[in-house]
Structure 1
């Protein structure tokens, strides 16, 4: 949908650090992207060894130069921190489920889903409005300045970076964000209806309600 292939054909020949990436096949590019993702999810291991090939399978060059490798290792560190945040979130969810369904003196909970939905929608609307008022580009740059070590390079022109070229950054991140939003919305809906249904069953079986 982002027409990354045409983007590569335009900018790869202009790259001042790496040659002939435009000779790679579409499947090779998919494989390279998968290798980069695997590396980022393993603390950046192997980034410097990833190589790209011509259609005959001959190695052309390693994929990234040192500044790109350094940036992606910073990204890997950030991903690890988000993993810890996810584990903490799962713990909170587990404790919440325990509070709803554990039998301690027989107190079932009736969650106030309308308030929860209104709060979630409000956060989404305010966040989206802030991004569009400030400007997506300005927010993107600010997040990089905050998230990554001071002085560490994170901005790369397409003519200097196969990382930016092959990903068509930052356009790709918009597509990823849209997918995350869709998945999050689906999980949220399933969560609400599943927990709501189970809570109702528990309430019916006990005949006692404590509002939460």
Structure 2
């Protein structure tokens, strides 16, 4: 295999591997509700709720009567809904600790926004599945061409260097500014996506955007571990395949 083609193939392998690892990590974190109960304590979401729920401008001050278990249930319900086309968002109701229904959680604008999020997630999950299939096929082709996939140390070093560059750019531009710019670019311009805590139980419940930073860090860490694990699998499978072809 010519050196230039080999280099392009290795670069494509790394890109597809990262996309596949991100997708698999996302699926795993979704199974544990993105560790919301841990973030709930770590970033002190109760303090946000205690401060802003009494100020709610939609008359939903009674949300203050809900407890941590209800908050975790509601977040899990939203997370489940946005992974299934936004189904059930309008029907989300919050309850007091005795199980009495108190009110509707989401406003119409929030439902619209979460449906936009659901569409984005659906697209991302399809891309992740395709990336996993492409990575597996490319790893097989590299093995058949007797081209070893990158060693773990080299892959890790390249990944950390790329992440350091991204982190530097993010810090230089400002994480919050990047977060807002990304929303303006991704979502329809006539669909609201910014909600003040005083107007949104959802935003208070998630302490947005702080919770997303927590989830992003978890996602990145889990993706990196899966990246290395998948690469080890590919190297082992490639080594076995090469040995069988040589014998």
The two structures have a TM-score, normalised by structure 1, of: 0.88
Match of 1:147 in 2: 186
CA distance in 2, matches of 1:78, 1:193: 31
Count, aligned residues: 204
Instruction: Note if contact 2:89-2:111 (Cα within 8 Å) is conserved in structure 1.
Output: yes
CA distance in 2, matches of 1:66, 1:156: 12
Deviation of the 1:78 alpha carbon: 0.8
Instruction: Note if contact 2:140-2:238 (Cα within 8 Å) is conserved in structure 1.
Output: no
CA distance in 1, matches of 2:136, 2:242: 19
Per-residue CA deviations over 1:42-97 (Å, capped at 9, x if unaligned) read 11111111000112211111101111111111111111111111121112112123
Instruction: Note if contact 1:67-1:153 (Cα within 8 Å) is conserved in structure 2.
Output: yes
CA distance in 1, matches of 2:118, 2:97: 30
CA distance in 1, matches of 2:105, 2:244: 61
Q: Going by fraction, where is helix more abundant, 1 or 2?
A: 2
CA distance in 2, matches of 1:57, 1:206: 65
Deviation of the 1:205 alpha carbon: 4.4
Q: Which has the larger radius of gyration?
A: 1
Deviation of the 1:8 alpha carbon: 1.0
CA distance in 2, matches of 1:150, 1:71: 11
Match of 1:198 in 2: 237
CA distance in 1, matches of 2:236, 2:47: 49
Please tell me the root mean square deviation across aligned C-alpha atoms, in Å.
Answer: 1.9
> Unaligned regions of 5+ residues in structure 1, if any?
none
Per-residue CA deviations over 1:173-198 (Å, capped at 9, x if unaligned) read 00000110110111111122222233
The two structures have a TM-score, normalised by structure 2, of: 0.77
Q: Secondary structure at the match of 1:124?
A: helix
